[in-house]
Structure formats: structure tokens, C-alpha cells
Amino acid sequence: MVALLSFLIAQHVDNDIVYTTIGTKQLKLDAYRPPIPNKKVFIAIHGGGFTGGSKGGNTGELCRYLSKRGFTCFDIDYRLQKDVGGTKQDATNAAVDDAVAAYNWVVKNAENYGGDPRLISIGGTSAGAITALYAAYSRKLPVKSVIDLWGGMYGKENDIKTGSPPLLIVHGINDKVVSIALARAMENRAHAANVSVRFLSHDGGHGIDLNSSIKKATILEHIESFLHETMK
């Protein structure tokens, strides 16, 4: 019985799969295959100010949590400013390009990992959230929903239009890196465009442990419930 339960909760991770190559730079992702797939797919994008960070940190934690609960999850790396050799904006643009490339790879390969390419959501933390927001709303990726963990759109909020995917925002009221005003601007724009939006604020600054509770549920639990609600 114990062996059976261990098997049921086990998950398989394929690390360092190349999803695209730009010049000589191989961009890789980790694919989390759930023990019992629910067909829903999530693409996670790490933070790091477009200058650092990598897959496997809190996005790895998020993917482990989701995949144990049936989601097929892909934790991606992308080009950083040092790889691009330009400005922070150049790095941001490159990250969005890479997220689009990762999405296209996932569409082609999701079924191999238990996912349905018609049921894809995207999100991330900090710079990864910014990347996901631009990819979904500015580049109009046909995703089911977007998870924004302390990101912002920096004046591009009007790219959220009627018919855009639903948005979950988690943001600290004392965030000194990405102002909560940017999060409120997205919330307001979503309401104006009749886009479903859920806003969760906390008393902290930039970033928070994903096991932290807001409104009697952990952030991880909020993400899971939001994805279930929006991926139909």
C-alpha cells in the first residue's frame, strides 16, 4: 500500500530540454510530468531583474506543487541582459521572444508530457511575471490565464483588451522594486476591459514565500484554484 501511494504521488522531471537555440545559446526548460495528468499546462518564468536568476528556484517549487496535483508544468530559462549585450529593455524584449518560443515548443510537445496544448496558462515571478504579461497581452499568446507574481506592465496596461485571458495578481503593498501602483493599474485596466482579475495583496515588499497565506489560503493554493477556474 505504501509503495502504491509513493508511486501515485511521484512525479517525473526531465531537466534541461533545449526548446530553442539562438546563435550559439541553447535555451532550456525543465518538464514536470504529473503522476495523474489533468491535461492542464502551465509555463513558469523565473525572476531576476533580467540580469540573473534561473529555472529551478521558486518556479521549480511552483512546478513541483502543480505537477503533483495533475498539471503538466514547464519551467523555462531565457536570455538575460548579459546574453543580449544591450539595455535592460533589450533584455526584456528578448525574454518575451524566448517566452513565445517556449510557448510554441510547448504547444508541439505538451501531449508527450500529459498535457493538452489547448489548455496552457503562463506566469512567473518579478521579471518572469513581466515577461509573461507582455507575452500574453502585448504579444497576444492564446493562453487560458496569466499568473502575475509581483510584476507590472509599465505603461502597456492598455494591451489588456476585452477577450484577453484572466489575470491573477499577487503583490506587496510595500514593494520598492515594482510599485504596487503598477499592479493596481493592471487591475483597473482589466476591470475596464471586462477581463476577469483577482488581486491578492500582502503587507510585504518585493516577493513572498509561495507557502505564505493570504485570505486563508496559501499563494500556491490560490494559484491552483485560479488555474482550475480559468482553464476549461
Which domains, and CATH codes, for the chain? 2-230 (3.40.50.1820)
What pLDDT is recorded for position 10?
65
pLDDT of residue 106: 98
For the chain, which residues score pLDDT lower than 50? 1-8
The grid cell for 111 is: 501531449
Q: DSSP characters for the chain?
A: -HHHHHHHH--EEEEEEEEEEETTEEEEEEEEE-SS--EEEEEEE--STTTS--TTSHHHHHHHHHHHTT-EEEEE----HHHHTS-HHHHHHHHHHHHHHHHHHHHHHGGGGTEEEEEEEEEEETHHHHHHHIIIIIS----S-EEEES---TT-GGG--TTPPPEEEEEETT-SSS-HHHHHHHHHHHHHTT--EEEEEESSSS---TT-EETTEEHHHHHHHHHHHH--
Confidence at residue 156, expressed as pLDDT on a 0 to 100 scale: 98
Q: What is the pTM of this model?
A: 0.94
Q: Cα Rg for the chain, rounded, in angstroms?
A: 17
Task: Give me 57's grid cell.
Answer: 528556484
Count of CB atoms situated within 10 Å of the CB of 74: 29
Which residue from 151, 129, 141 is spatially nearest to 104, judged by alpha carbons? 141
Question: What integer pLDDT is reported at residue 232 of this predicted model?
Answer: 85
Q: What is the pLDDT of residue 9?
A: 55
pLDDT for 6: 42
Dihedral sign from CA coordinates of 134, 97, 125, 106? positive
